[in-house]
A and B are shown apart, each in its own frame.
Chain A
Amino acid sequence: MSSASAFASGSARAKAPTLLGPLDDRAVTDLVCAPLLRPAGLRWWVAFLVCTVGLIATLAGIYKLFSAGVGIWGINTSVVWGYAIANYVWWIGIGNAGTLISSLLVLTRQDWRASISRFAEAMTLFAVSIAGLFPILHLGRPLYFYWLAPYPASMQVWPQWRSALVWDFWAITSYLIFSIIFWYVGVLPDFATVRDRSSGAWRKVYGLLALGWRGSARHWRHYRRLQITLAALATPLVCSVHSIVGLDFAASLMPGWREPIFPPYFVVGAMYSGFAVVVMLSIVISRGLGLQQLITARHFEAMAKVMLMSSVVMGLSYASEWFAAWYGGNRADRALLVYEFTGAYWKLYIAMLTCNIVAPQLLWFPVMRASVPVLVGVSIGILVGMWLERILIIWNTLSYSFLPSMDRIFFPTVWDWLFLFGPMFVFAWMFLLFCRVAPVVPMHDVRELLHREGAR
């Protein structure tokens, strides 16, 4: 590690190095481009085939859903929202972390984010694409989803701008397109690097993708300014998107939903589950593509701290929910609070609290933050816990509402499980393809970091 000390962060406290030396410009190029230039290995193909099966199963599920209707799910007359909405919130939450990493951490000058920002952004794109499907899948008549868009219809009707569904439509569409632009601007110079190192037909493909980028100083100056501006714009955008998802619930009059804390609490929850996925992807990518020099202990340490901080904020959010229900004095709110701990889903509620609040406290200890199995276990726990949180927000409120005669329990069907697990394979399928065609680490950002830290 002696050569690595040159790249250690300039902080007074001894920190693990962000990049493990010896590294130079050429080594960065070699490390990042190598997986793109060599044929995919057996492991990749096995994973890809498994995910393809999952993708086909998901498409078959969608076909069944569109032909038979939402009745194939476990939703009933009281619990009208089920897995689809929980999945939607869960996926869009995951989709938030990528942009947060490359916007918030850029603005707060967290150097370590350079190595992980590209695949985190790709994660955002894929997760948001999947999330965007769920509101459409959940529509009774999905073929009319375009009614959300304002257009001069022959019946002269217009969207209801006070509806949370309409806000969702604009938020997700804007966020998805913006994220694609942000991602592409980031990857543009790296496509040029791959172009200059590949041959044959791929050289032409990357040549087109790079748009003729040649690294001119006259271009870089616009580029830098655009990138930092996009980062500054992405921060409020990403917060607004998940806030709007929170408003889907908070703008209603249901106990357990009508809480002003929902928007910020959803944003933190999104960051929380998103970082859990980034941790797992970082482990897979650094080992699978041999990028341990670029994705180091420092990254896991920093991400573990973000998760720890988020878990504390989540704990405070839950506590303030309980406090508000009691302090507000509303009978329906208090009864729901009791139901959460004693009703039909109480075991899941306790599991959710264990996964989201208790287990991550392990990360207070540096030994735990440095242990890959612990990080994976905590991350999986967070993902399960965050999904439970979303489904319980829906189940508790809808199962136990104002009228006792309307109380119903949700029983998931096999189709519910397919729509929960199927999209995970779709996500992995897209991610596997991404690893084969795009540089997973932003080389120009890492070079900049390398030269800055080397100069110290």
Chain B
Amino acid sequence: MREAKEPAFVAEFRSPSDLIAAIRHALDQGFRPLDALSPYPVEGLDEALRLPKSTIRWPMLILAVCVAALAYALQYWTAVYAYPIHSGGRPLNSWPIFPLVPFEVGILAAGVAGFAALLTLCGLPRVNHPLFDWDAIERATDDRYFLLVGAPEEASESRRLRTVLEGARAIRVRELSL
């Protein structure tokens, strides 16, 4: 949500089931839920919000394969060309044992890529999000569940959205510009 400022309604709920029911209700009523905040990954939330599957594994796989290949290439080049050591008649390219190092650094690369991808995909670190302007949002990391719904342009629709959210057992509803 790094695009231009956009008004949104933020509703607070007591339980994950209330949150998911509210998302379904808002969708039925023709509104567009943008996001939800929860203190733990709620099962079924992705489906309710119609979020696509995470693509975070791709950068991990790609970097792991590249780094592992690079590590093998380094071993091959140093052991065969740059600094060959004849040791007990073993082949210079000791392929049965050489995959050890590529395996280790490949997994490490996947970990690094995964963390970097998490930050990139989530737009983190970002310590000053407009959501934090609302004090109540602090409980999103504790025991409350929040739903963000894009605000409609017409005032009458906005009023209807507020009624819909409150009807779906929201404790509080507030308009924020995100």
The reply to whether A240 and B111 form a contact with Cβ atoms under 8 Å apart is no
Measured CB to CB, the closest approach of chain A to B79, in angstroms, equals: 5
Residues of chain B within 8 A (CB-CB) of A166 are 101
Residues of chain B within 8 A (CB-CB) of A196 are 138-139, 141-142
Residues of chain A within 8 A (CB-CB) of B104 are 170-171, 174-175, 237, 240-241
Residue of A nearest to B76 (CB): A161
The reply to whether B38 and A220 form a contact with Cβ atoms under 8 Å apart is yes
| A38, CB-defined interface residue at 8 Å | no
Task: Say whether, besides A161-B79, A217-B38, A222 and B142 are in contact (CB < 8 Å).
Answer: no
The reply to whether B142 and A161 form a contact with Cβ atoms under 8 Å apart is no
Residues of chain A within 8 A (CB-CB) of B51 are 217-218, 221
Residues of chain A within 8 A (CB-CB) of B142 are 25-26, 29, 193, 196-197
The reply to whether A226 and B83 form a contact with Cβ atoms under 8 Å apart is no
Measured CB to CB, the closest approach of chain B to A158, in angstroms, equals: 4
Q: Which of B44-95 contact A (CB under 8 A)?
A: 45-46, 49, 51, 53-54, 56-57, 60, 74-75, 78-79, 82-83, 85, 87, 90, 94
Residues of chain A within 8 A (CB-CB) of B175 are none
| A170, A181, A222, A226 — most chain B CB neighbours (10 Å) | A222
Residues of chain A within 8 A (CB-CB) of B94 are 161-162
The reply to whether A181 and B39 form a contact with Cβ atoms under 8 Å apart is no
Residues of chain A within 8 A (CB-CB) of B110 are 229, 233
Name the 5 nearest CB pairs between A and B, nearest first.
A25-B143, A211-B125, A158-B78, A174-B108, A196-B138
Q: Which of A404-430 contact B (CB under 8 A)?
A: none
Contact residue among B36, B90, B121 (Cβ-Cβ distance under 8 Å from A217): B36
The reply to whether B107 and A236 form a contact with Cβ atoms under 8 Å apart is yes
| B37, CB-defined interface residue at 8 Å | yes
* A–B Cβ pairs within 8 angstroms, 8 of them: A29-B143, A156-B82, A161-B79, A189-B39, A193-B39, A221-B54, A224-B54, A229-B114
Q: Which of B114-128 contact A (CB under 8 A)?
A: 114-115, 117-119, 121-122, 124-128
Q: Within the assembled complex, what's the spacing in Å between the Cα atoms of A197 and B57?
A: 33
Q: A29-B39, A192-B141, A222-B54 are in contact. List 18 more A-B contacts (CB 8 A).
A: A25-B39, A160-B87, A166-B101, A173-B108, A175-B104, A193-B142, A207-B127, A212-B125, A212-B127, A213-B124, A214-B37, A218-B51, A220-B41, A237-B104, A443-B40, A444-B39, A448-B41, A451-B42
Measured CB to CB, the closest approach of chain B to A293, in angstroms, equals: 16
Contact residue among A207, A217, A445 (Cβ-Cβ distance under 8 Å from B35): A217
Task: Say whether, besides A178-B108, A214-B131, A244-B100, A162 and B40 are in contact (CB < 8 Å).
Answer: no
Binary flags per residue of A241-253, CB closer than 8 Å to B gives 1, else 0: 1001000000000
Q: Within the assembled complex, what's the spacing in Å between the Cα atoms of A211 and B128?
A: 10
The reply to whether A211 and B119 form a contact with Cβ atoms under 8 Å apart is yes
Contact residue among A208, A234, A237 (Cβ-Cβ distance under 8 Å from B127): A208
* B interface residue count range (under 10 / 10 to 19 / 20 to 34 / 35 or more): 35 or more
* A interface residue count range (under 10 / 10 to 19 / 20 to 34 / 35 or more): 35 or more
Q: Do most interface residues of chain A lie in helix, strand or loop, or is the interface mixed?
A: helix
Residues of chain B within 8 A (CB-CB) of A29 are 39, 142-143
The reply to whether B140 and A240 form a contact with Cβ atoms under 8 Å apart is no
The reply to whether B41 and A150 form a contact with Cβ atoms under 8 Å apart is no
Measured CB to CB, the closest approach of chain A to B111, in angstroms, equals: 4
The reply to whether A214 and B54 form a contact with Cβ atoms under 8 Å apart is no
Measured CB to CB, the closest approach of chain B to A378, in angstroms, equals: 33
Residue of A nearest to B34 (CB): A218
Q: Within the assembled complex, what's the spacing in Å between the Cα atoms of A160 and B85?
A: 8
The reply to whether B141 and A189 form a contact with Cβ atoms under 8 Å apart is yes
Residue of B nearest to A225 (CB): B54
Residue of A nearest to B125 (CB): A211
Q: Within the assembled complex, what's the spacing in Å between the Cα atoms of A190 and B77?
A: 45
The reply to whether B82 and A158 form a contact with Cβ atoms under 8 Å apart is yes
| A161, A225, A448, A451 — most chain B CB neighbours (10 Å) | A161
Q: Within the assembled complex, what's the spacing in Å between the Cα atoms of A182 and B118?
A: 12
Residues of chain A within 8 A (CB-CB) of B103 are 236, 240
Task: Say whether, besides A161-B78, A214-B131, A221-B54, A229 and B60 are in contact (CB < 8 Å).
Answer: yes
Residues of chain B within 8 A (CB-CB) of A182 are 111
| A436, CB-defined interface residue at 8 Å | no
Residues of chain B within 8 A (CB-CB) of A195 are 141
Contact residue among A156, A160, A214, A448 (Cβ-Cβ distance under 8 Å from B40): A448
Q: Within the assembled complex, what's the spacing in Å between the Cα atoms of A214 and B57?
A: 22
Residue of A nearest to B100 (CB): A167
| B137, CB-defined interface residue at 8 Å | yes
Measured CB to CB, the closest approach of chain B to A100, in angstroms, equals: 15
Residue of A nearest to B19 (CB): A217
Q: Within the assembled complex, what's the spacing in Å between the Cα atoms of A197 and B140?
A: 11
Residues of chain A within 8 A (CB-CB) of B139 are 196
Residue of B nearest to A217 (CB): B36
Residues of chain A within 8 A (CB-CB) of B118 are 185, 222-223, 226
Measured CB to CB, the closest approach of chain B to A206, in angstroms, equals: 11
The reply to whether A216 and B37 form a contact with Cβ atoms under 8 Å apart is yes
Q: Within the assembled complex, what's the spacing in Å between the Cα atoms of A156 and B143?
A: 60
| A258, CB-defined interface residue at 8 Å | no
Residues of chain B within 8 A (CB-CB) of A244 are 100
| B16, CB-defined interface residue at 8 Å | yes
Residues of chain B within 8 A (CB-CB) of A233 are 107, 110-111
